[in-house]
Amino acid sequence: MNRRVGYRAFARRLAVALSCVAVAAGSAQSAECMRGINLAGAEFGSLGQEYGTGYIYPSDKTIAYFKNKGFTGVRLPFLWERLQPKLYDKFNTAELKRLRATVKAIRSAGMQVVLDPHNYGRYEDQLIGSDGVPQSAFADFWRRLAATFASQDGVLFGLMNEPYGISAEDWLSAANSAISAIRQTGADNLILVPGTAWTGAHSWSGGDYGTPNANVMTGVTDPANNYAFEVHQYLDVDFSGKNDECSRAADAVKAITDMGDWLAAQGRRGFLGEFAVPTMPACQQSLKDMVAVVESRPDVWLGWSYWAAGDWWKPSEPLNIQPTDTGDRPQMQTLQGYFADRKICGG
């Protein structure tokens, strides 16, 4: 081994490890270089459908599979309306029991969990901030949820999945109201704050949705100063994740690189909450490139969570990495190799 190269590699690993420790030491709750998976299912179906028929939480078997593969966290989507069927009212007892049991199962497996109301900035299709769903209703929801999981180790609060159709200014106001409500409960959990426009990294500093997130979201106010910005980034032609190709992989990877630079300039942290590629061999290198960009910057990125898996995903869904009867899917094989080569984030 070249001694100089060996020394540099050792120094880099040491710096990464210390960076992760510093992030954790800065607050009681931290993602600590999370390598996560979105376990979908609880956000499935239509309101009114029965549990086990219209929607499902991840099974212990699925949780164990991803734990054993090397994942350290789960982003857990669910529906606001199922948990709180009436605004400003108490949570549904049975649904809260399911959510708490799933969080306990994930934590018992040694993984962190991101609570993810998967509502796109809406409640029953009405936008937060509208007459039907005032910002105070969103704050009330988070006050109740935060009180339930206040300061629990390894439980992170994802404010909202992919708000869209709302200006960055109005979304910032709603987010700050929710953050204030969370902190008033005494909860010190790490909060993941998205932007508007589906919180795309590629459009964070520009786009056609009004004032860019980059110009507005610097106004986040957190009394505990324990938050990170959550962005999503797909690699297909329109960055939506709906197309079975990865034709804009280079642009997507650059978007994450640019987002990291923005975070560093602002002295903030980020989390890549969703990204994915289909099964084609040409897309597997792009998947590794995306992960590598995030893990090479532990000074700004807390980690990532792949979209998606879950007990009810069909094998025909091109992005999912729920195992099939014949074994691991190609994307899992790609990520597994990455895990084996890099024992720590950034290593």
162 catalytic, yes or no?
yes
**329 band by pLDDT with thresholds 50, 70 and 90:** very high
Q: What is the pTM of this model?
A: 0.91
Which of 43, 230, 274, 295 is an active site residue?
Answer: 274
Write down all domains in the chain, each with its CATH number in brackets.
3-341 (3.20.20.80)
Which of 32, 81, 95, 162 is an active site residue?
Answer: 162
End-to-end CA distance of the chain: 18
Candidate from 53-57, 235-239, 313-317 with smallest mean pLDDT: 313-317
- Is the distance from CB of 315 to CB of 321 less than 8 angstroms? no
> Can you give the pLDDT at residue 315?
86
How far apart are alpha carbons 242 and 51 in whole angstroms?
A: 27
H/E stretch holding 100 reads: helix 93-108
How far apart are alpha carbons 127 and 26 in whole angstroms?
A: 34
Distances (CA, A) of 289 to 237, 251, 264: 17, 12, 20
- Does the pLDDT at position 22 exceed 70? no
- Is the distance from CB of 20 to CB of 269 less than 8 angstroms? no
274 catalytic, yes or no?
yes
**340 band by pLDDT with thresholds 50, 70 and 90:** confident
How far apart are alpha carbons 117 and 160 in whole angstroms?
A: 5
Centroid of chain to Cα 205: 20
